[in-house]
Chains A and B, each alone.
Chain A
């Protein structure tokens, strides 16, 4: 069981992306106090309901302990919260942490101060999407975009199309590895190429547009 004896740092160094190309780790971008953004915590608090609880964080580290993916993050959730509060805006927004989050809500539920950490992760994702600071070689942002585009267009997602699109866009060679599983699923009728879509496509678009105004 060699994998389990690896240290978190080893894992972080080699396997975070799963692809052969490694994502560029955050290189402490904020070096001087003048670079801090004291309004950052308030910005997050405005984005998330209950986000102002951020200021009550006691840095106990429960979130990092329960997070199933903290070994794959460059900043652990605890550290991310501390940095958000301190206003280290650039580093936080360039971090892969929010993108590695699987939204399993373990941190939110366990937090003794009831800080909505998962929702804060989502808020950080939104901001880094808007400001295009998300990690370039990380796949989650690409996937999120592809998913949202597909739903906006058709109202439902089709797993086969979305995964095909992603593989072609990010790692075409990996696609070959997954042919055995993919073809088995297809034979069993679990992965069809027919694209799902709804009748109220226009309605859906109207609704989304009405809300983005």
Chain B
């Protein structure tokens, strides 16, 4: 494995509600020989709220980060900016598209960037960590590095809306599979379900129920996801977006009461689960920051590996 280093864009949630995502991503990437270096002085991507005020400004905000990435890595070749949060990822890809079209909007954005001495040449492109894990580092390399295969753990992969919409950059728009393949690569069992990309209700609210724009609607939407996943036997849901993760995890108590359906499903970031399979310490993966976390009893992590080392019998029985 070559030691590649990527420029990394955490996004505001990566420093707040999604801190565990950032911690686990950094550790897992480091472990797999691909470091992530945080972009200096990055600013908010504009999210989906800024276009409600000014679309060009929203793209300019994202473009500033792309321009800073280019400035950081001089040269002629393309340079990747790994955006962890799917909301940021979409905003950055969007800015790339608008600037790539070289229309009047691109000129206006270029003017804005020029006023602070920046320029976007078109070299920087936004990448999602899932894309890097699956397509750059590769599933073979990941499964070769697995030391605690999560055999038998049924995992539902939730992709959320903005990873594949409106731009499907590296996966199928209607049935994305990269996370499922990753789940299979670490030994777990991917659960097939149809709500992979259905909105969780949190995306435009920048913190969803934290802010509580429409608590009822948000609860209905995330409840549909949790119900379907558990119905299909998922013991855990993994996701790649800090907002989706929080939306589904944080309000299960309230949802249980509201819908009269006891819910207790761990919702983790895919990077955390990969980290567990790679044998990384839970603390470095931010597992403690999750509100609920458990691996089923029969899991070899809880029982198999430890007792096997001590020469114990089949602890799984």
Contact = CB atoms under 8 A, between A and B. Distances in A.
Interface of A: 1-3, 11, 15-18, 49, 68-69, 71-72, 100-106, 108-109, 116, 118-119, 122-123, 125-126, 129, 139-141, 143-145, 147-148, 151, 155-160, 162-163, 166-167, 171, 174, 178, 181-182, 184-185, 188-192, 196, 198-200, 203-204, 206-208, 210-212
A155 B43 contact: yes
A183 B117 CA distance: 43
B201 A208 contact: no
B48 interface: yes
Interface of B: 12-13, 15-20, 41-44, 46-57, 60-61, 64, 103, 105, 108-109, 111-113, 115-116, 161-162, 165-166, 173, 198-199, 201-207, 210-217, 220-221, 250-251, 258-261, 288-291
A105 B164 CA distance: 9
A190 to B, nearest CB: 5
Nearest to A147: B49
Nearest to B213: A139
B165 A106 contact: yes
Contact of A1 (B19, B50, B51, B259): B259
A207 B53 contact: no
A3 B162 contact: no
A189 B289 contact: yes
B108 A143 contact: no
Contacts of A143: 49, 205-206, 211, 213
B112 A148 contact: no
B108 to A, nearest CB: 6
A191 B60 CA distance: 28
Given A3-B259, A17-B214, A109-B165, A104 B203 contact: yes
Given A144-B52, A188-B288, A212-B54, A15 B216 contact: yes
A116 B206 CA distance: 22
Nearest to B288: A188
Given A3-B220, A147-B47, A151-B44, A140 B213 contact: yes
A163 B15 CA distance: 15
A71 B116 CA distance: 45
Contacts of A118: 166
A155 B44 contact: yes
A199 to B, nearest CB: 5
Contact of B57 (A15, A101, A156, A208): A208
Q: Which 5 A-B pairs have the closest CB atoms?
A: A104-B161, A105-B165, A104-B199, A210-B115, A125-B52
A101 B204 contact: yes
A97 to B, nearest CB: 13
Contact of A158 (B12, B46, B61, B259): B12
B149 to A, nearest CB: 28
A210 B108 CA distance: 9
A203 B40 CA distance: 14
A123 B44 CA distance: 21
Contact of A204 (B54, B64, B202, B290): B64
Given A103-B161, A160-B16, 15 more contacts: A1-B261, A72-B216, A103-B48, A109-B173, A118-B166, A123-B55, A125-B52, A145-B53, A156-B43, A157-B44, A188-B290, A190-B289, A203-B116, A204-B64, A211-B57
Contacts of B166: 105, 108-109, 116, 118
Given A129-B53, A143-B205, A210-B115, A204 B199 contact: no
B19 A100 contact: no
Contacts of B47: 147, 157
A157 to B, nearest CB: 4
A1 B112 CA distance: 52
Contacts of A139: 211-214
Contacts of B108: 211
Given A143-B49, A147-B47, A200-B41, A103 B211 contact: no
B217 A207 contact: no
